């Protein structure tokens, strides 16, 4: 990666790593990764290769923050004294390169970290960075983790870099080995999945184009219109995405639409629609016939949905800017509710997620989800279907929301997902659940609820 000389010729530093450092600082202040990277790289002349390196450093350093902090403290003279945010992040960035990148030489990881400290801090702190990182290279045996048998939660949280509450939840929900596999999976580099637009083409036409350009892929195991790509970025973006032949969406996000099973000519509503992955998927399943109301409180995000629909040739979507709690309409044949959730099913794709949500945040979301499912149920006509879905694997956001709703609403009952999706994805209660250890799926939950005929 290139370096650049600071004003006055005081020191050289790598502008790519500097962009990564700026983005990491912004994420620590509460910004989402995509926005942080966008701001940090704006105005910098980065090549596509540079940009990919920034993303690798930002996502990796953010994901592995707890593990990096755990290791750094073994090489500090006074580990109990907190470091400044910028010094902490320079060390994290440097240790990430030492521990988790295969193409960055150790000497470069050290020298470039020192250069960043000299540029953005001072010579004294640059010497500290140099000493700490060189000590890590000389004495790796100083690192110790909790015993996995005596304190499995601390071991897993420190080693794989997760908040303690999430690891403790997983250990209660799954066995140790399954929890470890899940945490390992979330730390893998994220992959991209395309969903084929049946209004414009068939999956085999898309795969033929990928084959022609030697782009590796696998076809969705459960939904054949989804194609998982083995390369980074958005391959054949001009040919596939901009023409509306495909859109980017995970296979697990297609399962709620399968449970919704909207038919041509139906009156359907998506109550939290933007940016439109599930909405456009439902419209395609309806073969562009009927009416699909897309409700969202964000005008900007709804506008993105409309643009995506136009690109895909969809004509049946009616956007409504409104908080779904206040939405008046219906009754509808099909109601889709995908409420705000913790997102713990997609932790592999969103590096900042694991540090941005607390247990209290999840409890607050549960209150919102409860209010939203109650409101959504009033829009379903007798004999109609309500699908509740999240991209979380936390039971209190999923099973518990639906079970408590059913206790309050005797007009609704569970209709098993087994008739619409693979039985291996369906539990004894009829809920559809997926986990990242199932291959190319994210973690997700969806339930199909039918309103009884009156």
Q: Give 69-114 pLDDT, tens digit per residue.
A: 999 999 999 998 999 999 999 999 999 999 999 999 999 999 999 9
Q: Catalytic residue among 170, 341, 391, 432, which? A: 391
Cα separation, 249 vs 255, in Å, equals 11
Burial class (CB in 10 A: 0-12, 13-18, 19+), 59: buried
Is CATH 3.30.470.30 what the domain over 4-142 is classified as, yes or no? no
- What do you get for the CA distance between the two ends of the chain, in Å? 68
Residues in the chain: 454
How high is the pLDDT of residue 439?
74
What are the start-end ranges of the H helices in 312-440? 353-356, 359-377, 399-408
Strand partners, 217: 229
Cα separation, 256 vs 446, in Å, equals 6
How high is the pLDDT of residue 3?
46
How high is the pLDDT of residue 6?
42
Residue pair 315/307 in contact (Cβ under 8 Å)? The answer is no
Pair of tokens at residue 7? 């004003």
Pick 189 or 448 by higher pLDDT. 448
Query: 198: which residues sit within 8 A by CB, 6+ positions away?
Result: 225, 284
Residue pair 305/319 in contact (Cβ under 8 Å)? The answer is yes
Of 47, 422, 144, which Cα lies nearest the Cα of 258?
422
Q: Give 22-51 pLDDT, tens digit per residue.
A: 999 999 999 999 999 999 999 899 998 999
Of 421, 154, 201, which Cα lies nearest the Cα of 313?
201
Of 310, 234, 237, 300, which Cα lies nearest the Cα of 279?
310
Residue 375 φ then ψ, to 5°: -65, -45
143: left (phi over 0), alpha (psi -120 to 50) or beta: beta
> How is 91-120 classified by DSSP, letter by letter?
HHHHHHHHHH-SSS-HHHHHHHHHHHHHHH
Pick 266 or 440 by higher pLDDT. 266
Strand partners, 218: 228
- Residue 146 gets which letter from DSSP? -
Cα separation, 339 vs 343, in Å, equals 10
Cα separation, 259 vs 415, in Å, equals 9
How high is the pLDDT of residue 186?
94
How high is the pLDDT of residue 230?
87
Residue pair 25/94 in contact (Cβ under 8 Å)? The answer is no
Cα separation, 301 vs 408, in Å, equals 33
Helix axis angle, 106-120 to 15-28, nearest 10°: 70
Residue 146 φ then ψ, to 5°: -60, 150
How high is the pLDDT of residue 1?
44
Pair of tokens at residue 124? 């004294």
How high is the pLDDT of residue 4?
46
The Cα-based distances of 194 to 57, 228, 301 in angstroms read 25, 7, 20
- Kindly tell me if the per-residue pLDDT of 343 is higher than 80: yes
How high is the pLDDT of residue 231?
81
Count the Cβ atoms, other than its own, within 10 Å of residue 269. Answer: 28
432 is catalytic: no
- Kindly tell me if the per-residue pLDDT of 7 is higher than 90: no
CATH number of 193-248: 3.30.70.1170
Residue pair 262/285 in contact (Cβ under 8 Å)? The answer is yes
User: Which 3 state secondary structure label does DSSP give 428?
Assistant: coil
Least confident stretch, 2-11, 359-368, 421-430: 2-11
Across the chain, mean pLDDT equals 94
Q: What's the CATH superfamily of 251-451?
A: Vaccinia Virus protein VP39 (3.40.50.150)
Cα separation, 312 vs 102, in Å, equals 40
Share of the chain above pLDDT 70, in %: 98
Parallel, antiparallel or unpaired: strands 432-434 and 444-451: antiparallel
**Residue-range domain boundaries for the chain:** 4-142, 152-186, 193-248, 251-451
Residue pair 264/199 in contact (Cβ under 8 Å)? The answer is no
Cα separation, 336 vs 447, in Å, equals 10
Handedness of CA 388, 389, 393, 397 (dihedral sign): negative
């Amino acid at each position: 990666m290139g370096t650049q000389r600071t004003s006055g010729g005081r020191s050289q530093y790598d502008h790519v790593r500097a962009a990564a450092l700026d983005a990491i600082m912004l994420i620590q202040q509460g910004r989402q990764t995509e926005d942080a990277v966008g701001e940090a790289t704006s105005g910098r002349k980065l090549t596509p290769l540079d940009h990919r390196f920034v993303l690798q450093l930002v996502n990796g350093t953010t994901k592995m923050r707890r593990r990096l902090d755990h290791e750094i403290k073994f090489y500090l003279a006074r580990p109990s004294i907190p470091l400044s945010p910028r010094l902490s992040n320079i060390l994290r960035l440097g240790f990430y390169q030492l521990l988790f990148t295969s193409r960055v030489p150790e000497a470069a990881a050290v020298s470039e970290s020192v250069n960043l400290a000299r540029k953005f801090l001072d010579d004294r702190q640059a010497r500290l960075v140099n000493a700490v990182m060189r000590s890590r290279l000389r004495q790796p045996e100083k690192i110790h983790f909790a015993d996995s048998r005596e304190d499995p939660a601390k071991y897993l949280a420190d080693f794989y870099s997760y908040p303690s509450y999430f690891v403790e939840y997983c250990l209660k929900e799954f066995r140790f080995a399954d929890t470890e596999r899940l945490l390992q999976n979330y730390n893998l580099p994220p992959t991209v999945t395309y969903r084929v637009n049946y209004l414009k083409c068939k999956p085999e036409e898309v795969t033929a184009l990928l084959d022609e350009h030697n782009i590796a892929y696998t076809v969705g195991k459960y939904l054949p219109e989804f194609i998982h790509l083995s390369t980074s970025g958005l391959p054949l973006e001009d040919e596939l995405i901009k023409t509306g032949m495909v859109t980017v969406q995970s296979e697990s996000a297609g399962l709620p639409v399968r449970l919704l099973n909207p038919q041509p000519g139906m009156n359907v509503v998506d109550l939290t629609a933007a940016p439109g992955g599930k909405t456009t998927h439902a419209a395609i399943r309806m073969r562009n016939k009927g009416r699909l109301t897309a409700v969202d409180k964000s005008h900007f995000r709804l506008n993105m949905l409309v643009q995506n629909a136009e690109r895909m040739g969809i004509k049946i979507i009616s956007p409504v800017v409104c908080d779904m709690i206040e939405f008046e309409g219906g009754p509808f044949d099909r109601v889709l509710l995908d409420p705000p959730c913790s997102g713990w099913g997609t932790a592999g794709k969103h590096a900042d997620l694991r540090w941005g949500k607390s247990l209290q945040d999840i409890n607050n979301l549960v209150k919102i989800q409860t209010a939203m499912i109650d409101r959504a149920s009033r829009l379903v006509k007798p004999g109609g279907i309500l699908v509740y879905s999240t991209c979380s694997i936390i039971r209190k956001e999923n099973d518990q929301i639906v079970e408590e709703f059913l206790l309050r609403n005797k007009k609704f009952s569970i209709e098993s997902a087994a008739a619409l999706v693979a039985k291996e994805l369906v539990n004894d209660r009829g809920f559809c659940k997926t986990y990242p250890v199932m291959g190319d799926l994210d973690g997700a939950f969806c339930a199909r609820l039918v309103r009884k005929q009156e």
